Structure 1
Amino acid sequence: DSNKHGKSFARFVSKIIFKGPTVVVVRDKGGATFGMFSAVSWRRHNQFYGESTSLVFSLTPKCNVYRSSGVNQNYQFLATNLTASASCANGLGMGGQMDFWGIHLGDHLEEGVCRAPCSTFSNMPCLSSDANFQIDMVEVWGCLPGYVA
């Protein structure tokens, strides 16, 4: 919980990297609550990776789950310490493409983007209160082996 532990991206990454499947929940300052389920461990990489059992979801204002569309394999993305000239942004994301993210949290856990439509997840609308949003809180849970997606 970023309200309890602060918004240190380095601390956040240390809690998720190579830890197995996770659920990340975000509440933005506009009141929308949404998140992502990563089916495999997060790892630093400058390209997308992951499995088709990954998904994104909304909790408020309406509860919905958006599963893989099968159109591409842009499930997970985690980059840190990239230079300004890199073709991708530092932070954590799921879905979409490098310049048209499904969900992307910036590397200070202060702001994010959510673009729709997202080709990676079927019928996914913009889940945040605005396409460019301010993060109020981020929470992450680890999932035990043997999960059912």
Structure 2
Amino acid sequence: SRADGHSFNRLCHHTLGYMGPTIVVAKDKLGRVAGCYNHSRWIDSLSFQGSMDSVLFTLAPRFSALKVDRSQKACKGRHFLYLSSQTATTNKHGRWPCGGCGGGGEGGRTRLWIDAELEKLKWVGAAACATYPGGGDDWTPQDGEIEVCEVWGCGGRDAEVAQEQYRKRQALMAEQARKVDRQAMFGGGSSHWKDNPDKFILDIAGITGAGNDFYGDLDKEPPPE
């Protein structure tokens, strides 16, 4: 955040598409440091993600590391990690926060949370958590104002190349989405204008003259005067 400013979009920019392990770490203005390790690639999603190798940790004021409970083999329903830039009012997990980054916890309360404004860092060491059992460093107060947030890539050059290719694909898709097929917009193509769904919308708006008793259809010629 020293280089790019406080922007959650920049956090996503540096994590998405990176095909290797990453560490997300944040420090608040009280000097407390917490973060997470993701062995898998990140995705921007309203669902939990990560793997059995995910870790939540604190570095200051005291070191603590919370590892996944491997006695439960199933990954479904586990709250490994979470990353979403979306601002929906609710996500697939009901009471859980939507936009932000974090992991762990139960009942809508994560153990680690970085909000979507990149303003608040929260760590709840004593929170109930079936994914990361055991207690970590307990903070009072539990949240603080973020001073620095960083992403560390641990996958080497191959992971960086994969991310560069991902960004090129995303840019290409965005450019294609901006292009408008004007012919299709105005009823062009192989289908007749009468059968085009756009005509029905324009009829309702009264633009085509469909609301006029004489001109119920643009294909009809107006009567001679």
Q: Tell whether the structures are fold-level matches, with TM greater than 0.5.
A: yes
Larger radius of gyration: 2
> Match of 1:23, SS?
strand
Is the Cα–Cα contact under 8 Å of residues 63 and 137 in structure 2 kept in the other structure? no
Percent pairwise identity: 25
> Match of 1:45, SS?
coil
Deviation at 1:69, TM superposition (A): 2.2
Bigger fraction of residues in strand: 1
List aligned pairs for 1:43-82, cutoff 5 A. Answer: 43-70=43-70, 73-82=78-87
Bigger fraction of residues in helix: 2
The amino acid that maps onto 1:78 is L
List aligned pairs for 1:1-149, cutoff 5 A. Answer: 2-19=1-18, 20-70=20-70, 73-86=78-91, 87=94, 88-97=97-106, 99-115=108-124, 116-119=126-129, 120-126=131-137, 128=139, 130-144=141-155
Q: Distance in 1 between matches of 2:148 and 2:8?
A: 13
Q: Distance in 2 between matches of 1:129 and 1:112?
A: 12
Is the Cα–Cα contact under 8 Å of residues 31 and 129 in structure 1 kept in the other structure? no
Deviation at 1:38, TM superposition (A): 0.7
Q: Distance in 1 between matches of 2:107 and 2:87?
A: 14
> Match of 1:83, SS?
coil
Is the Cα–Cα contact under 8 Å of residues 24 and 151 in structure 2 kept in the other structure? yes
> Match of 1:50, SS?
coil
Q: Distance in 2 between matches of 1:126 and 1:84?
A: 31
Task: Give the aligned length.
Answer: 144
RMSD: 2.1
Q: Distance in 2 between matches of 1:18 and 1:128?
A: 33
Q: Distance in 2 between matches of 1:112 and 1:95?
A: 14
| Farther off after superposition, 94-103 or 28-37 | 94-103
Task: Provide closer, same or farther for how the CA distance between residues 3 and 129 of structure 1 changes in structure 2, counting only shifts above 3 A.
Answer: farther
> Match of 1:97, SS?
coil
Q: Distance in 1 between matches of 2:128 and 2:148?
A: 23
Give unmatched runs, 5+ long, in structure 2: 157-225
Is the Cα–Cα contact under 8 Å of residues 66 and 136 in structure 2 kept in the other structure? no
Displaced runs of 4 or more, over 3 A? 85-88, 126-129
Give unmatched runs, 5+ long, in structure 1: none
Correspondence for 2:182: none
| Farther off after superposition, 58-67 or 36-45 | 58-67
Is the Cα–Cα contact under 8 Å of residues 79 and 90 in structure 1 kept in the other structure? yes
